[in-house]
Amino acid sequence: MLTVEEALELVVKNVEPLAARRVSLGEAAGLVLAEEIRSEVNSPPYDKALMDGYAVRSGDRQPERQILEEIAAGAVPRFPVTPGAASRIMTGAPLPEGADAVVQLERTELVSESTVRLRQVDPLAGQNVLPLGAALRAGEVVLQRGVVLRPVEIGILAEMGRGVVSAIPRPRVAVLPTGNELVAVGEKPEQGQIRNSNGPLLAAAAARAGAHAIELGIARDKREKLRRWVEQGLVADVLVLSGGVSAGKFDLVPEVLAELGVEQVFHKISLRPGKPLWFGVKHDGERRVLVFGLPGNPVSSFVCFELFVRPAIAAMAGRGFEGLPTVRARLTHAFVHAGGRESFLPATVSGVSGSVLNVAPSFESRIAAASSPADLWVAILPWQGSADLVTLARANGLVRLSAAEQQLNPGTLLDVILI
């Protein structure tokens, strides 16, 4: 059986970034920019006052000045500032001709309606002024191709007047739970039935991974019906199925996928939980659809999603095949691992202070982990097998244990994937 590492490599080989598309700023947040952005403007577009006060000539040392006008932000100055004169100016307003400094309001006194006395008579040229083009010159590269569009980048694009940019779109991920025993969230399960928790769980996981998630209905373990649902799912960039991939009599997913021309890349890997994982690719002209058949048990489904589907979504979105957000932490207790398969067990990671890092895998948590690996502790939670979502909900990580049988002592440093 393939190891997790080998299986991951096969996924990497089969995934490519999606083709870039023109997107409006409103839908660009979180996407990867697919073009270089050069500024067409100077920023600021004029010498700009940074304080409320009086626009003056720096060389002019006269304490009393005649007030020429009031310049608000957005206004155009009408009079050049001459020796012996000053113009009242607001933050953000363009400096009038002749002026090269702003004396703050707090350092002035109004003598009459038309005269101001400066308490600072020797401002330096440029005081409280942001010169034209100081932040950005026309023609300069502002954003490189390949950057992720965070809120700040969206703001810069708006400043550049770029309402539409070329970016890699959000991968569309269709989620299709399968099973005769499943009923929808709003329904009451009869004898022998359970609610479909995987559909909403996987759709939420896909959205968190940066995909556009589409939850399809519940597919039944009937060849023809399953086939029709799968056909619908193959319209997306990624189809994520749950259930029906084990060795049971009604586990029809692999056969139906084969009938629909999805080529199997692997089936079953050395992983606990998640051994039945199925992965394949459908080539449809230029288009390529990745298909993941996740095991039906919710914990297995989630673990497989995090290990395989999430990085694949990142790669399709142009962010590269992201490694799993992993921290190193010391085990708080002794633990016996039966081995046989590589395992990912629900666990809680906490800092020395006892605070639980119950954050989503984030940049911050990765930085925290990198800076103080020895300060983190991890406890493996006793769990009731791969249907036990409740224990998983108490966990903030998955301890990664190699396939070897091992007796772990308290204090052993382990890899923990943050979930």
Contacts with ligand AMP, residue ranges (CB under 6 A): 177, 179, 181-182, 194, 196-199, 242-246, 248, 295-298
Choose the contact partner of 198 out of ligand AMP, Mg ion, none; CB within 5 to 8 A by kind: ligand AMP
Cβ-based nearer residue to ligand AMP, 230 or 245: 245
Q: Which residues contact 328 (CB under 8 A, 6 or more apart)?
A: 369, 373, 376, 413, 414, 415, 416
Cβ-based nearer residue to ligand AMP, 44 or 296: 296
State the minimum distance, in angstroms, from the CB of residue 267 to ligand AMP: 13
Cβ-based nearer residue to Mg ion, 301 or 348: 301
Backbone angles phi, psi at 150, to 5 degrees: -85, 175
Q: Which residues contact 367 (CB under 8 A, 6 or more apart)?
A: none
* Burial (0-12, 13-18, 19+ Cβ within 10 Å), 310: buried
State the minimum distance, in angstroms, from the CB of residue 417 to ligand AMP: 22
Written as six digits, the tokens of 44 are 């600021």
State the minimum distance, in angstroms, from the CB of residue 294 to ligand AMP: 8
Nearest to 202 by CA among 97, 300, 73: 300
Contacting range for Mg ion; rule: CB under 5 A; set: 123-131, 178-186, 212-220, 326-334: 178-186
**Is residue 179 a contact residue for Mg ion (CB under 5 A)?**
yes
CA atoms within 13 A on the CB side of 298: 20
**Mask 292-331, x = binds Mg ion (CB under 5 A)?**
----x-----------------------------------
Choose the contact partner of 177 out of Mg ion, ligand AMP, none; CB within 5 to 8 A by kind: ligand AMP
State the minimum distance, in angstroms, from the CB of residue 204 to ligand AMP: 13
* Burial (0-12, 13-18, 19+ Cβ within 10 Å), 351: middle
**Is residue 169 a contact residue for Mg ion (CB under 5 A)?**
no
* Cis status, amide bond into 44, omega within 30 of 0: yes
SS3 content of the chain, % helix, strand, coil (to 5): 20, 35, 45
State the minimum distance, in angstroms, from the CB of residue 272 to ligand AMP: 15
Cβ-based nearer residue to ligand AMP, 120 or 197: 197
State the minimum distance, in angstroms, from the CB of residue 231 to ligand AMP: 20
Contacting range for Mg ion; rule: CB under 5 A; set: 26-34, 163-171, 172-180, 318-326: 172-180
* Lookup result for tokens 């991951």: 8
How far, in Å, CA of 191 to CA of 194, rounded? Answer: 9
Task: Reduce the DSSP state of residue 398 to 3 states and report it.
Answer: strand
Choose the contact partner of 210 out of Mg ion, ligand AMP, none; CB within 5 to 8 A by kind: none
The only residue of 44, 98, 243, 254 in contact with Mg ion, by rule CB under 5 A = 243
State the minimum distance, in angstroms, from the CB of residue 243 to Mg ion: 4
Spatial strand order of the sheet with 115-118 comes to 101-104, 53-56, 85-89, 64-71, 115-118, 108-112
Residues engaged in binding Mg ion (CB under 5 A) = 179, 243-244, 296
